[in-house]
Every structure is written in C-alpha cells, then in structure tokens.
C-alpha cells in the first residue's frame, strides 16, 4: 500500500532534511523519488556539475501538452548566527503554526503538492501535472534553468507554471530581477606620504561604488509614478567590500560585491556595459598612467531575470480563477518565475505562507495556509480533469 501524508506530515519530513545551500540535497531528492515511485511515477533527475545536488521533475497524468508546472526549490538559507528557540530541522507545532527552517520558504508549497500526489493520481486528469523541484535557488537560482530546459525537452509542453513562493496564496504577476557581480581592483602600493607614486585600489573602488549610487539616484528621480514596484525603479547597491593592507600604504587590492535589482524588462547587459564603459573611460586610465599593472576586473556571479506582467497570460487567468484574487500584486525579490517565463512558459508566483517569515529565526508557516493551498490544488485538479472541447 502506498504511503500517504497530510501536508503537515510531509512538511515535517521535508524540514528534517538539512538542505542549506552549501550542502547536498540528494537525501531529500531520493526520498521524493522513492515516494513518487510508490505511485508508479517516473522521476527525472537533473544533476549539477559536481553530482552532489540535483533537481527533479515528474509528470502525473497523460503525456499531452497544456498541463501545469508546480515549482518549488529544495534548498534553504543557513541558520548560523540566528537565535532559534528549537532545532530548526525538527518541526515543532505551536498555536496553529509549524516552525522549522524552510517551512515558509518554500517547503510548505512542496510539501502540500507532494501530499496531494495520491489525489492527483486518482483523478481523471485530461492534462498533466508537472512537479519541478530545484536546487540552489537561494544562492542564485542556479538549478532552475537546467531544470526548465530538461523538463521541456523530455516531456509534454506545459501550458503554464506556478512557482509556489510564499505569497499568502495571492497571485503575484511580476517581480524584479537581480544581477550580482564582483569587482576586483588592483592598485599600486606606495607609502601614503608619497601618495602621488601609488594608486589606491580602495579609492578606485569608492569611485565605482559612487557611480552605482549615482545611477540609483538618477533612476529614483526619473521613476514612473505608475510603476507598481516599491521602490519603483532599478537599484544598484554594493553590500560587501574588503581591501587594503595598512593605513599608511596605498591599497594594492580591493574588491566588492554589488547587485542590480532590475525592473522587469530592464537590461542587465546594458547596465553592466555602462558600468564597464565608465571603468574604461573614467577610472582605469588615471590608474594606469601611474602604473601599468593596475587593473579592474568585473565578474558576473549570478543573474535571475525579472517576471514580467503578461497581457492575457494563461497562468494569471487560471490562478486568479482558482484563488478568486483579482488584485494586482508584484514583489521586489527575485524568484525562479522569471526563468520559467524566459523559457516560454506563462508564469505566476503563488504559494502558502508569508515572505515576512523567510530567512528568519523561528521561521514558521500557519497551518491554515497549508489548508488553503491544499484546497487550491483540489480546484486546480478539478479544472485539469475537465476534457477540453
């Protein structure tokens, strides 16, 4: 007899797997494979280059086009440095909430989908359900693109995708993108009393960070008042910097990491090209006039495209019908939704729990949110089970 879980029981199981992004997620993936295998469902792994992590996708129902992707990431953020009142990888219920790392972000959605698998299998689906679980979302959405490509190459083409990030089951139709990059500056050391003979990598880095700040200020001044995002413009920001050897030596090295939070449709390439042009025209020549060894290197670390609002999008139409939510919702954080959309799938973000709990100590999800998600999936299955004329 096949194993059955309630959404809460499945969430407790998923929380028990420590899938912080710097660890393997294969134990969780193996559990899901075994569980789905009990229902005769074939799973396809999409491993990373090291083989220590994998995404997974599976199809339930007929091998025809027009189904739905239910997408979740399996990794969670670290707990080190946070004050948890209990073991973050052992779920605990209190006052109608289930506490544990990943409960809201976003194992709650994955758990509800997996718990509903027996109902999916028992339904007379006319269009299939694609389950898609990824790795490394929290560190750059590195698993989503290979997963989407493999899913589309090896199975019937879905009609739309639902990314189940925590939105309190509201329909999110747009989010910003993010480009993360590291800038390494090589200066020329000299005693600070002979400043004219040296090139401070820190001073050069300051010029570059000031350029980022100035672009953000320009974007703010030119922002469209009708833009629904908060803030309603693309932002450029450096969050990490290190460099220098001593207070009386012009710094040989300095590096910093920055991100660009892009409005949907804003070009990552255009921003980075403008940044590199500023380096080549305004910063590097003065440095190399003192020492030819001076250099500035820009390394792209991660990019997640924004999710653009779709005119008459199938995902929005279907999910609004199922939730009854007809309000306009956009968010400024990035999700894997933009990646599925970039692969040609109509996509929305909609899932149980609150983003306010994501990444927090004593992260939790309201059990009522799991119930709401389960009811939503019941309505989704009923719609997919209706024969199309």
- Active-site residues, by number, are 75, 137
The three-point CA angle 232-235-241 to 5° equals: 155
Q: Where are the beta strands (DSSP E) in 212-328?
A: 235-243, 253-262, 295-304
- The helix/strand/coil state of 352 is coil
Q: Please, are residues 48 and 136 in contact by the beta-carbon 8 Å criterion?
A: yes
Structure tokens at 350: 């909609």
Core vs surface per residue 218-244: b (16+ CB within 10 A) or e = ebeeeeeeeeebeeebbbbebeeeebb
Q: Is the dihedral of CA 72, 74, 77, 80 positive or negative?
A: positive
The alpha helices in 134-265, defined as continuous H runs, are: 144-154, 201-221
Q: What secondary structure letter does DSSP report for 355? A: G
CA distance 234 to 273: 16
């Amino acid at each position: 007899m096949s194993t059955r879980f309630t959404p809460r029981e499945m969430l407790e199981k998923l929380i028990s797997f420590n899938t912080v992004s710097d660890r393997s997620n294969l134990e969780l993936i193996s559990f899901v494979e075994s569980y789905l295998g009990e229902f005769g469902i074939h799973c396809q792994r999409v491993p990373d280059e090291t083989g220590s992590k994998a995404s997974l996708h599976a199809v339930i129902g007929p091998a025809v086009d027009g189904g739905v992707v239910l997408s979740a990431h399996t990794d969670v953020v670290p707990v080190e440095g946070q004050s948890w009142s209990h073991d973050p990888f052992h779920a605990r219920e209190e006052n109608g909430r289930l506490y544990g790392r990943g409960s809201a972000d976003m194992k709650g959605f994955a758990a509800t989908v997996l718990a509903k698998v027996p109902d999916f299998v028992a339904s007379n689906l006319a269009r299939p359900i694609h389950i898609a679980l990824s790795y490394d979302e929290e560190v750059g959405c590195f698993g989503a693109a290979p997963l989407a490509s493999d899913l589309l190459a090896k199975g019937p083409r879905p009609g739309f995708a639902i990314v189940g990030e925590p939105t309190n089951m509201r329909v999110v139709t747009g989010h910003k993108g993010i480009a993360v990059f590291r800038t390494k500056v090589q200066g020329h050391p000299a005693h600070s009393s002979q400043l004219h003979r040296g090139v401070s990598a820190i001073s050069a880095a300051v010029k570059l960070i000031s350029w980022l700040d100035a672009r953000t200020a320009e974007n703010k001044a030119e922002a469209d008042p009708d833009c629904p995002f908060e803030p309603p413009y693309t932002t450029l920001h450096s969050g990490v910097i290190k460099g220098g050897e001593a207070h009386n030596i012009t710094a040989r090295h300095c590096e910093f990491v920055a991100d660009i939070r892009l409005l949907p449709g804003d070009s990552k390439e255009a921003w980075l090209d403008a940044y590199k042009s500023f380096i080549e025209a305004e910063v590097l020549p003065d440095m190399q006039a003192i020492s030819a060894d001076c250099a500035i290197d820009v390394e792209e670390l991660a990019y997640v495209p924004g999710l653009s609002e779709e005119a008459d999008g199938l995902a929005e139409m279907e999910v609004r019908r199922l939730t009854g939510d007809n309000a306009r919702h956009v968010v400024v954080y990035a999700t894997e939704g933009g990646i599925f959309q970039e692969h040609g799938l109509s996509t929305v973000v909609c899932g149980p729990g609150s983003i306010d709990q994501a990444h927090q100590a004593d992260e939790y999800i309201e059990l009522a949110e799991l119930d709401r998600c389960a009811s939503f999936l019941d309505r989704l299955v009923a719609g997919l089970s209706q024969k199309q004329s």
